[in-house]
Structure 1
Amino acid sequence: MPGPLHDIVVLDLSRALAGPHAAQMLGDLGAYVIKVEHPSGGDESRGWGPPFVGPDGDISTYFLAANRNKRSITVDLKSAEGKELLERLVRQSDVLIENFRTGVLDRLGFPVARLHELNPRLVILSITGFGHDGPEGGRPGYDQIAQGEAGLMSLTGPSPDEPYRVGASIADLLAGIHGAFGVLAALFERERTGRGKVVRTSLLASVVGIHSYHGTAWTVGRTVPKANGNHHSSIAPYGAFRCADGMIQLAVANDGQWRKVAELLGIDPDQPKYATNRDRLIHRDELIADIEKALAAHDRAHWLARLGELGVPAGAIRSIDEVYAWDQVRSQRLLVKVDHPVLGEIELPGSPLRFEAPGGVEEEPVRHLAPPALGQDNEAVLAWLREREQGGGSG
């Protein structure tokens, strides 16, 4: 299948993770993505590891994670030749993605006004660390710094005194997701107006944007949320519990589910300290102790089976290798196979989206391209560009 964005051209000037993730998402939907890299080393994530793979041990699995469905060309944007090529590419593109520090594109001679002079239909996605303006708008941004500054680390960890970063680079990934979402909205609006616009987001904005009930706890309730370890701040019992051979997770969202769990574990659900969710939160430490005392009688498989029979949300805590071996993950097409020019056929984490046509027929996924070697598509993209220019018009 060509994908819903098959006629969209994306010029990816970004590097590291946030911008490349946004471009990859658009590529997963069928867009023609051109990744512009400096001839000397390219995207810095090509050097991030371990692990490194390949016969020479020089291919970064980090880079592989954010650059499928792209063509790589090498361009020195500081040279006259590079600037001329970028102008030609901008004229033939629908979307430009950049995550330079504020002002870098301006100094290269490509401020927003110049880009829209070259192509009035261009949608520009600009991702920064802390925003393009404001008193700290020029700060460089990396994921862990943003997690701390945006409050996420204060919510994560075993206690308020031990803030933890989220294990995944969640600020980068959320910025990429929000950025791609904004691009799609701008492309949709362009169908009505005929003009592109600038979409801006940042690592800071993307993390603050998912505070959700933690945010309203403060903005409305004037309560500062704090880290609760593996247990929910507003619902009990909801978290990780020890049993005979490890840990399972329970998510008891209402009193009906609580009664089922309590009866299964031999706990009186109507005793005053556990009767309502508010009561259970007040006495949460006692509740956790009582639940774990009961769970110690059997292993995880036993409890997960019994909880499943009762329809109570529960689950294991899987390692990454266990996740990708899980039949349910594979059934959801969350792994894709690509033919890498050096590594051969490899599997990559896939897009979380699936599409179904009217009548309930699931569409076949886009044929995925392997993350490219540095500059591997120089000749192919230049040939494509000449053909576009001869045909006239932008994407």
Structure 2
Amino acid sequence: MAEHPLLAQQAGSLGGVVVLDLSRVLAGPYAAQFLADLGATVVKIENPADPDVSRGFPPYLRHGDEEFSGYYAQYNRGKLGLALDLRSEEGKGVLRDLVAQADVLVENFRPGTMDKLGLGYDSLREINPRLVYTAISGYGQTGSRSRRPAFDNTAQAAGGLWSMNGYPDQPPVRVGVTIGDLSATLFGVIGTLAALRHAERTGEGQLVDVAQVDSIMAMTETAVVDYTVDGKVASPSGNEHAWVRPYELFPCADGQVFFGGYTDKLWRASCELFGTPEVAEDPEIDTMRKRFDRETYERRVKPIILEWFAGRTRAELEELAGDVIPLTAVRDIGEVVDDPGTAEREMIVEADYGDFGTLRMFGQPIKLSATPANPARVANRMGEHADVVLAGIAGYDEQRIAALREAGVI
């Protein structure tokens, strides 16, 4: 690889790893961004006639009449940009040349799309046998449903999670974030790193097949075994846990807190903290098993807790008990961003977008002591690094790059 500063080996655990990111919107781009944060050189490849649609998603950084999507920036930071027409034979040839030098390729098209272009895994591994090809899709690369279109809500619906979320006796409610995409992101990163380790050790790449529906199903906690063992079908339970009590949301003077003092040890500590030590010895509710009984919980335990919290603010409750028992204020996102604890964990980082201003976004939750991540970087403008990528990775000279640009391939 050429010694252009943008292509110099990055610090971090994945320094020297080259990733081609052909994905769009969230699950794939976020997976590739994790790799970029951890030191990989990631090239974002977009269709010049149909760029990543998330470039149009709000919120927007603005400079005059120009806009730059904060959504896109948060999930594509630290990547190099290449606009490449894969419908053309020249564009396909460029991708193959890049694949020959790459370690990982990430895509999240509907299964079969890359094969139709002649750029599927079976084709590309002939060029680079050590290539890790990560394909994230709705239903996976195999099975009778594999060609179906899918979004996040598809995964929440087909994976069972939607049916479990919400309140009893009401229609189920989708999880309020795109958990289908986000869960597939995490499993995609795990699979990619495992496959990359194998490729580095053996020289053998492989297909990493991650489905949103599979990912959601793997996040339904005990719902599967509840059904296979006891025939119980999970249903919405609101803010309560299915069987652990107390373990839910409670009102206080200025909002709500989560309180989870369900074990005997935590219950006794709670009774002491709130000045009612005698409650811990009450023979009707003195054991965890007794407090789990719903009728007993509603009649005896919950009123005690409501009385503890009445008249106290979230801050007062956390100050009194937060260091001893699981008692946590329910904060809105503004409070989270501005919380000193968030800054202590470097979970808000800043990227300088020049005339557009500074973008504050979430940082990298993986904290590595020897090779820390580098999340405080800007996202690429579409195609802005074409010369650097094609010269430094594919080895093209200026004349060839100019010819590709003249032909509209890049």
Q: Which moved more, 1:284-293 or 1:227-236?
A: 284-293
Partners in 2 of 1:42 and 1:295 — Cα distance? 52
1:244-290 CA distance string (max 9 Å, x none): 22211111141111122234264723445533333323233333343
Does 348-357 or 292-301 show the bigger shift?
292-301
TM-score normalised to the size of structure 2?
0.88
Query: Amino acid of the residue matched to residue 52 of structure 1?
Result: Y
Partners of 2:107 and 2:164 lie apart in 1 by 30
Superposition pairs for residues 269-348 of structure 1, below 5 Å?
A: 269-281=280-292, 282-283=294-295, 284-286=297-299, 287-308=301-322, 311-348=324-361
Q: Which structure 1 residue ranges, 4+ long, deviate > 6 Å from structure 2?
A: none
After TM superposition, the score normalised by the length of structure 1 is 0.91
Distance in 2 between residues matched to 1:335 and 1:122, nearest whole Å: 34
1:81-160 equivalences in 2 (<5 Å): 81-159=90-168
Alpha-carbon separation, structure 1, partners of 2:334 and 2:219: 28
1:84 CA displacement:
1.3
Is 2:368 the partner of 1:355? yes
* 1:329-360 CA distance string (max 9 Å, x none): 11112122222255243222111111124xxx
Q: 1:233 aligns with which of 222, 234, 242?
A: 242
Output one character per residue of 1:151-196: Cα deviation in whole Å (capped at 9) or x when no partner.
1122221225231111221110110111111011011111332110
How many Å separate the matches in 2 of 1:388 and 1:269?
75
Following superposition, the deviation at residue 87 of structure 1 comes to: 1.0
Tell me, in whole angstroms, the C-alpha distance in 1 between the residues paired with 2:359 and 2:159.
Answer: 36
Question: 1:156 touches 1:166 (CA, 8 Å); kept in 2?
Answer: yes
Alignment partner of 1:33 out of 31, 42, 51: 42
SS across alignment from 2:204: coil
Q: Rate the CA distance shift 1:147–1:364 in 2: closer, same or farther, 3 A.
A: closer
Q: Secondary structure at the match of 2:280?
A: coil
8 A contact 2:155–2:212 mirrored in 1: yes
Q: Which residue of 1 aligns with 2:392?
A: 384
CA contact (8 A) 2:255 2:330 kept: no
Q: Which amino acid is 1:88 matched to?
A: D
User: 2-side partners of 1:256 and 1:268: how far apart?
Assistant: 13
Q: Report if aligned partners of 2:363, 2:375 keep a CA contact under 8 Å in 1.
A: no
Q: 1:204 to 1:256 in 2, by over 3 A?
A: same
Alignment of 1:30-69 (within 5 A): 30-49=39-58, 51-55=59-63, 56=65, 58-69=67-78
Identity %: 37
Match of 2:5 in 1: none
Task: Name stretches of at least 5 consecutive residues in structure 1 with no aligned partner.
Answer: 358-362, 390-395
Cα distance in 2 for residues equivalent to 1:345 and 1:379: 27
Letter in 2 for 1:376: E
Cα root mean square deviation, aligned: 2.0
- Structure 2: state its 5+ residue gaps: 1-9, 398-410
SS of the counterpart of 1:269?
helix
Query: Residue 110 of structure 1: CA displacement?
Result: 1.3
**SS of residue in 1 equivalent to 2:335:** helix
Given that 1:265 and 1:295 are in contact with CA atoms closer than 8 Å, whether structure 2 keeps it comes out as no
Q: What is the deviation of 1:150?
A: 0.9
Out of 269-278 and 214-223, give the one that drifted further.
269-278
- 2:322, 2:328 within 8 Å by CA — same for their partners in 1? no
User: For 1:305-337, what per-residue CA distance to the aligned partner results, in whole angstroms no more than 9, with x for missing partners?
Assistant: 22135x111111111111111111111121222
Give the count of matched residue pairs: 382
1:13 and 1:341, CA in 2 relative to 1: closer, same or farther beyond 3 A?
farther
State the shift of 1:75 in Å.
0.8
CA distance in 1, matches of 2:159, 2:169: 15
